[in-house]
A and B are shown apart, each in its own frame.
Chain A
Amino acid sequence: MGCRAIVLAGAVLAVAGCARGLKETWQTTPPHPGSEVVVAVVAAQNPDPYAAGRQAAQALKDKFLGGPKVVLISECYLGRKNKERLLRGIRSVLPREILFGGATYGSITIDGCHDRDAVALLGLAGDGVGVRAALERELGASGPWTEDASDPLARRLRAAGARLARKIPTSASDRLLVVIADAHSPKNGPLVQGIQDVLGLRFPIIGGSVSKNAGQSYVYYQGEMFSDAAVALMLSGAFNVSLAGRQAKEAKAVVATAEAATAIAHQHLKGSPTLALIFDCAGRKGKLDRPADEIVPIKRVLKRDVPLFGCYCAGEIGPADTSDASPNVLSHGVGWHIMIALLGR
């Protein structure tokens, strides 16, 4: 009985990341103005999650001299055990400290949509980009969004958003905050408001909520799994960012809004795009018989092989396409959107 309790406590500590004294903030070296930013995206599909993780991580590592500075993970394996095995596979190739991301309903790359039993990795490297990351645990976001529960939930999430943002010291070269949270729409709304209480209403924020399917809700921070948590990555450097978001709730509008959002982001980007970050709604994907139909116009608008890295989410963060979106606020936490951030120089 005593042994069982010790084993259980050890497992709980390992899950929480406490077993190795996990710090809730992390950073790379700061960016150097004028230096290059290197981007690579890979994907792997394999019923064996360890093999897929290892394969994708090796493919990503091979694309960089000296390996990536930071890696964003989007994966769609079923169940905790498979997700743990996937992370083990990735960690067998790449250092755990640089691994962030979440469980999603599928990933987007230039090759299309990767959902069941697939993982996609985005790697960033080069002296031109710096990354600071933070983790906020115990958001207190579980429970239905009902009349009696929504106000307390919103208060907790807004406070959690502010705590998350305060963990990241700001700098003049900050360009984009990427947020991945266990906060199904509409809970991502107050979370973003809390972040904006610290960063301001016009700071570019993009992101998405992890899969809310039972047993699948995890965010990844330094290669570990967390539920009821949010991760933020502040990207800084001498690059430009352009954000756009469009909403669609019916099949016929999904493809058109993907094209429109990409076109708007492209039109407002100073310089040429070097990366398209996409946070798309899983509900939009569910309206399409072929999810790749939505990716075709994105590629068409970008006109060349700009690396795409995206995921299907349970809520999106970015410019809202709703009737009540305030023009003074750049990003909102909403649902049914495709959010696109183009990074360019």
Chain B
Amino acid sequence: MTGCLPAAILWLGLARCATGSEPVALRVENLTVPPSSGPLMHVLIANRGKARYEGKVDVSVPEGWRLNRTRLRVRLRPGETRRLDFAIERALDNRRNRYRVAVVAEGGGRRVERTQEVVCASAPYFQPRIDGKATEWDDAIPVSFVTRGKRTTIRTYWNHDAFCVLVEVQEEDLSTRRRKPDEKIDAVQLAIARSGTATPSRPRARAERHEFLPVASFSWLRRSRCYRLLGPGARLVTATQERDLDGLECRDVALAVRCRKDVTTYECAIPFRLMPEIKPSEGREFFFSVLVHDPDGTGLREWGEAAGLWPWQRNPLAWCRWRGDSRGQAPPFDSRTEWGLCSSRH
């Protein structure tokens, strides 16, 4: 159980030392309201070298979009990460919710380019009935990614009572019960954190996030359950322990799971009263991420990876372990990706 802790410390040490072959790393953050409403687009640039970096950053956006500026000059100290703002002044939304953005950094005679399919990760206002059906979710903004040929789609809503999440998992088989102690099961793991927080690198540090784990059950004797794995204030060492789920059930979260053909739909409503630091209001930003555990199919699916997090943003303290999870040797990507509450996509 505690055998995971030394591995975590070792990984954190390696991650801190890791440097890429390129002088800087680039990432465009998720948009937190629909692009047509003109939000800021944030570009992260990290100096991965041991010398100062001086250069310019150019951004290219989809046709028909206009930014307040497309170029910024930057100076970065060794190891420094800077968040650059580009205001979207005109844009069109699309139903795929994928927007191709190219960022080029040129400095010190080196050119670094990254092209991303940026998403709008935002929850419109709506109060869905939690019944496991996706019929009321057409007005939510779909965030999709494919892992080893299987699609995962995340949709979110908010209302003054709850943050509502629908995750559609395309998969071959669904394992809902462990028959042996070491058997793995299907589940969806959700992490929510206040904006401006970061995952600590010390296991003794306190957590600043919430983690929930909806698990399906189609038995007459046992209903689908949501477990609360972590809350702010808990020691992060907890995240490294492969805990049994017994005793962690959170009945405050409404949950319904349905399985149709090859898609399992997890629908839940997490009351904001469990997360008082996240105020439900339009324009509010926070961090949210999803892991999908598909033990007899793709294994672990990570939204953080699909959202373009950097390879060194894997962190063993970013997600809780639990008995039956699908984690492999490498720790998962960080549990913080940008998310927002908006009014509507209309």
Residues of A in contact with B (beta carbons under 8 Å apart): 78, 105, 115-116, 142-147, 150, 184-186, 211-214, 216, 249-250, 281-287, 289, 314, 322-324, 334-336
Contact = CB atoms under 8 A, between A and B. Distances in A.
A212 B38 contact: no
Rank and list the top 10 A-B pairs by shortest CB-CB distance, nearest first: A286-B283, A283-B283, A213-B125, A145-B36, A212-B344, A212-B343, A282-B282, A214-B126, A249-B40, A286-B284
Contacts of A150: 36, 92
Contacts of A212: 125, 343-344, 346
Contact of B93 (A78, A145, A250, A282): A145
Interface string B121-135: 000111100000000
B139 interface: yes
A105 B38 contact: no
Nearest to A286: B283
A142 B346 CA distance: 6
Contacts of A143: 346
A249 B39 contact: yes
Contacts of B139: 214
Nearest to B41: A249
Contacts of B127: 214
B89 A250 contact: no
B37 A186 contact: yes
Contacts of A142: 346
Contact of B94 (A146, A213, A322): A146
Interface of B: 33-34, 36-40, 64, 66, 68, 85, 87, 89-90, 92-95, 124-127, 139, 160, 279, 281-285, 341, 343-346
A144 B343 contact: no
A33 to B, nearest CB: 42
8 contacts: A184-B343, A212-B343, A214-B126, A249-B40, A249-B85, A282-B283, A286-B285, A287-B283
Contacts of B341: 286
Contacts of B282: 105, 213, 282-283, 285-286
A214 B95 contact: no
A270 B94 CA distance: 46
A150 B35 CA distance: 13
Contacts of B124: 214
A144 B40 contact: no
A283 B33 contact: yes
A211 B344 CA distance: 9
Contacts of A286: 281-285, 341
Contact of A282 (B89, B126, B160, B343): B343
A335 B37 contact: yes
B66 A285 contact: no
A201 B281 CA distance: 35
A282 B340 CA distance: 13
B39 to A, nearest CB: 6
A2 B3 CA distance: 72
Contact of A214 (B36, B39, B64, B344): B344
A281 B343 CA distance: 12
A234 to B, nearest CB: 28
B95 A184 contact: no
Nearest to A78: B160
Given A147-B94, A323-B89, 11 more contacts: A115-B281, A144-B95, A147-B64, A150-B92, A185-B37, A216-B125, A282-B343, A286-B283, A323-B68, A324-B89, A334-B38
A335 B92 contact: no
B92 A147 contact: yes
Given A214-B125, A283-B33, A314 B89 contact: no
Nearest to A282: B282
A324 B346 contact: no
Contacts of B85: 249-250
B95 to A, nearest CB: 6
B174 to A, nearest CB: 31
A79 to B, nearest CB: 9
A214 B160 CA distance: 12
Contacts of A216: 125
Contact of B38 (A147, A185, A213, A282): A185
B343 A146 contact: no
Given A116-B160, A184-B344, A322 B89 contact: yes
A334 B95 CA distance: 23
A169 B259 CA distance: 60
A143 B93 CA distance: 11
Contacts of A145: 34, 36, 92-93
A323 B69 CA distance: 9
A211 B33 CA distance: 15
Contact of B344 (A213, A283, A285): A213
A332 to B, nearest CB: 11
A150 B68 CA distance: 21
Contacts of A186: 36-38, 90
A144 B284 CA distance: 21
Nearest to A116: B160
Contacts of B66: 324
B70 to A, nearest CB: 11
Contact of B87 (A185, A249, A283): A249
A146 B281 contact: no
B283 to A, nearest CB: 2
Residue among B36, B93, B284, B343 with max Cβ neighbours from chain A (10 Å): B343
Contact of A146 (B40, B93, B279, B344): B93
